[in-house]
Structure 1
Amino acid sequence: MSSVRPSTFPKIQAALDAGADPLGRARELLPLHRRWTQDSQILESVRPVIARSWERAHELKNQPRALTAQDLRARQQENRELAALMPMVEERLLSVAGQAENQLVVTDGEGYVLSVLGPMAVRRQSDGIGFIAGARWLESDVGTNGIGTAMAERSAVQVFGPEHGREEQHTWVCTSAPIISPVTGKLVATVTLAGSFRTAHPHTLALVAGTAREAESELAWQHQLGLNQLRNAVSQPEGDYLLVDEHQMVAASRGFSASARISVVGGLRAGRIWVNGLGAMAAEQVPGGWLLRRSAEQTLLELIERPLPHAVLWIGAERTEVPLSAAHWRILQLLADNGPGLDAQGLAQAWSQPVSAVTVRAEVSRLRAKLGGLIAARPYRLVVPVVVSG
């Protein structure tokens, strides 16, 4: 099984070195924070990860958004991936949190706090700044903070004292790491150790980051187990086929040279679909996944300009509609008018206004990802018949 995440992880930097004086470091940071808030200047001495966050989070006035008690319970109960990870996360971090006078905070993939565990004294202090179960802690809500910045950076971060966007958080250190699904690439959760800035230590960053990576490995293992169960639960049909799960990951196949994950225009559904690199397929839902076989139905791409530009992929009598930006509409229109195809330079020259080949190449790349192999390369050309409607 291939992973969405790269095999190498971004370099992470602790907020201060082991043995450094937290109070002294906080005093050094205060003038930097004031220069940013008062003059909108971010000095070079600000750590890069914090500088990027300050750029994103400047002048935000929102208050933390909170869920109702009912919505909070629903999120806690419905997040099955996170629920399966919680015993391991608590085992790795909760006792350490208590010993360090920190609290363990876990959010879902949207930044809503689902769990706050740890010493009651720390929790009372966090209540005062809205750091409570049900609150949302994105950068867009509360400025630079461990949770929101880890989510934005998709990497473990440690936010210390006056590095936080809001002054009421300046007495805190928050060490956070995102848990990212190795299957979908989506944020599943964040884990955070938070407490007084005087408890800051670089080892905390390594511990939290390591726990998040272990959680991602657990998710990968659970997914592989699910693929094995799907493979064993579905009888192999006659002829060529693909058996995939709900994430379009391949559990079994015969007669197809497919990667670990397929790409389907418009997503999986019962009926006729188009699979990138494989063409038209007939999809049948089976327990836990989808069974795909070749389809002999005629395929046609219809381009419709009004009222809003979109493409309709017809496979027999079944249709899949794909919204298009103005640039993507223009690319398809030009390719429809030039059957043998055009390269990026040719598309740029045929454009109705000045545009660079580099810009065109980037737009074609995005369009090809959306249309799942309906556009071949070298030169760019449509691989199915096309009609243009008004």
Structure 2
Amino acid sequence: MTTHDARGASGPPDSRHPVEHAHLLHQVFDAVLAGEPGPMMPRALVSESWQRSLAAQIDPDQRTPPVVVQDAELPDLRTAHPLNAVMPLLRSTLVSIADEAMHVMLVTDADGIILWREGAARLLVSADQVGLQPGTRWTEDAIGTNAMGTTLAVDAPVTIHSAEHLVRTYHAWTCAAAPVHDPDTGDILGAIDISGPLHTVHPAMVQLVSATAQLAENQLRVRLAIADERLRVRNMPHLTSLRGKAGALVTASGRIIAGEPYGAWPERVALLPGADRVRLEDGREMMVEPLAEGFLLHAPRKGAAAPNRSALSLRFMTDGAPSVLLNGTAIPVTLRPAELLTALALNPDGLSAEQLALLLYGDDGNPTTVRGEVLRLRTLIGSDVLRTRPYRLAATVDADFHAVRRALRARQPAEALRACGGQLLPRSDAPAIRDLRDELEAGLRRAVLDIYDPDLMGEFIAHPLGRGDIEAHDRLLDMLPASDSRRPEIRTRLSRLLSEA
């Protein structure tokens, strides 16, 4: 199935009327599959995709995409996927256009599984009938040539029009898609696609999707830069503790974000899971010491073994489940272990069973009960991390509540707000947790309201802690000029809050 078509591999297939062009493509499709001469050759992009699809034994006449993810599994997959962070951008950029133009917007993961689908309601019914729905896989080896699968295969924006789809079921559709890349590793995270009836095709579809993918990558790049800076600030004490000796802070993916001496480090190092040392390209051997969210590289210490202090990351200020990482590995915890870890993190010098019982249960606390809970927690994180006599954490602890408290004490409300994902363990009634939760929420709210910063106030009313704050909404309306486009939405939300008060 060779081709001599000189047109661009990923650009629009033709500039003539969509229906006329679709008719021509049907003739090309039938001729190629029959092994007969046709009116023209398919585009190189399409020809090569057909070859890959047919080699995967895709049947052009009878095929639907496999359902690989059930509806109940989709919410967790969406929440965990990196593209979830840019879905507001994708919706604001593409969904309104898709509604008006009778298209659907689809977003897949790197395996071609549709995770999100939005667009014109009438078209969603038609999409359901052909399996164009969340949970289905659209790689070329699953459903043949299509914009989502082909863009993942060639790592470039593509348009697939009508009979360029290998499976006849989709000859009434035209689709444009572009890949989205991880700004950290460069790997493909997934694909963004606009699909619709062939009569709605527009030559600019692929450019629109490609530009939107670039916007998404830029937003991910900004988020990565912010995360790098936070990681750098939190862990600079580890680098400083080397007292001028060679060392570097490394992200979990192996990127070096700070080093001493400056300029003497590669951009990235290859860290094998569990390895305690790595050899750099210049031949230097460095020890790898795990931190809560990354690693510290330093030269081997002569005459002594490098300390093996564990790194514990606690993310408890969230509307979701509490999150614990031990040396980069997730540790599943329920509410009571999270409360214990919070109390121990707040008291690094250690606590007795009696003191822990008072902090967690109040005057009715039973030390015997606490000892049993500590024993269960030690089985989760290890006796080398949770020590006894007194109970204490023998680890480098990075906790979100520590970060919020430090930022508030340093009078940095923007940093405090961004370090806070929500309430501290909102289901906890432990006295120590309640007191800290009230302290952080009140301190954060007051810090935001005490300064004249409309952008920060806007972040606050969009934050879980500020969504229901009537005074904050009212204050922001006073700050914004009458021409500000945000005013109608804020006024509507304020009216709703007042009606519910």
- TM-score using structure 2 length: 0.54
- Cα deviation, residue 282, structure 1: 0.9
Identity of aligned residues (%): 25
- Contact 2:10–2:158 under 8 Å retained in 1: yes
Q: 1:142 to 1:217 in 2, by over 3 A?
A: same
For 1:92 and 1:283, the matched residues in 2 are separated by 43
For 1:42 and 1:74, the matched residues in 2 are separated by 48
Q: 1:281 aligns with which of 280, 286, 297?
A: 286
- Cα deviation, residue 12, structure 1: 3.8
Equivalent residue number for residue 45 of structure 1: 41
Q: 1:43 to 1:49 in 2, by over 3 A?
A: farther
> Is 1:26 matched with 2:31?
no
- Cα deviation, residue 44, structure 1: 6.2
Q: 1:259 aligns with which of 257, 260, 266?
A: 266
- TM-score using structure 1 length: 0.68
Equivalent residue number for residue 69 of structure 1: 71
Point out the more displaced range, 200-209 or 35-44: 35-44
Aligned CA RMSD, in angstroms, stands at 2.3
Equivalent residue pairs, number: 284
> Is 1:243 matched with 2:249?
yes
Secondary structure at the aligned position of 1:283 is classed as strand
Secondary structure at the aligned position of 2:204 is classed as helix
- Cα deviation, residue 11, structure 1: 7.5
> Which protein is richer in strand relative to its size?
1
- Cα deviation, residue 237, structure 1: 2.5
For 1:43 and 1:21, the matched residues in 2 are separated by 17
- Cα deviation, residue 223, structure 1: 1.3
- Contact 1:270–1:285 under 8 Å retained in 2: no
Equivalent residue number for residue 14 of structure 1: 12
- Contact 2:181–2:189 under 8 Å retained in 1: yes
- Contact 2:9–2:44 under 8 Å retained in 1: no
- Cα deviation, residue 90, structure 1: 0.7
For 1:274 and 1:219, the matched residues in 2 are separated by 30
- Greater relative contact order: 1 or 2 (C-alpha under 8 angstroms, separation 6 or more)? 1
- Contact 1:173–1:194 under 8 Å retained in 2: yes
1:74-153 to 2 correspondence within 5 Å?
74-79=76-81, 81-153=82-154
For 2:36 and 2:256, the matched residues in 1 are separated by 50
Structure 2: any 5+ residue segments left out of the alignment? 1-7, 303-501
For 1:228 and 1:160, the matched residues in 2 are separated by 44
The C-alpha deviation readout for 1:140-170, integer Å capped at 9, x for no partner, is 0110001000100111111000000111100
- Contact 1:270–1:284 under 8 Å retained in 2: no
1:1-390 to 2 correspondence within 5 Å?
12-17=10-15, 20-39=16-35, 45-58=41-54, 59-61=57-59, 63-66=64-67, 67-79=69-81, 81-234=82-235, 235=237, 236-238=240-242, 239-255=245-261, 257-264=264-271, 267-269=272-274, 271-295=276-300
For 1:147 and 1:41, the matched residues in 2 are separated by 29
Equivalent residue number for residue 367 of structure 1: none
- Cα deviation, residue 45, structure 1: 2.6
For 1:42 and 1:75, the matched residues in 2 are separated by 44
**Hey, which bits of structure 1, 4+ residues long, moved more than 4 A?**
40-44
Secondary structure at the aligned position of 2:88 is classed as helix
- Contact 2:9–2:45 under 8 Å retained in 1: no
Secondary structure at the aligned position of 1:269 is classed as coil
For 1:44 and 1:92, the matched residues in 2 are separated by 36
Q: 1:93 to 1:117 in 2, by over 3 A?
A: same
For 1:43 and 1:110, the matched residues in 2 are separated by 35
Q: Which has the larger radius of gyration?
A: 2
Point out the more displaced range, 45-54 or 196-205: 45-54
- Cα deviation, residue 52, structure 1: 1.6
The C-alpha deviation readout for 1:258-305, integer Å capped at 9, x for no partner, is 2222234xx2535223333343221111122110112379xxxxxxxx
The C-alpha deviation readout for 1:46-97, integer Å capped at 9, x for no partner, is 1121112112111414642211223323211211x21111000111100000
Aligned residue identity for 1:14: P
- Contact 2:100–2:120 under 8 Å retained in 1: no
For 1:42 and 1:83, the matched residues in 2 are separated by 44
For 2:38 and 2:92, the matched residues in 1 are separated by 39
The C-alpha deviation readout for 1:108-140, integer Å capped at 9, x for no partner, is 111111111111221111111111110010000
- Contact 1:269–1:283 under 8 Å retained in 2: no
Aligned residue identity for 2:284: G
Q: 1:225 to 1:40 in 2, by over 3 A?
A: farther
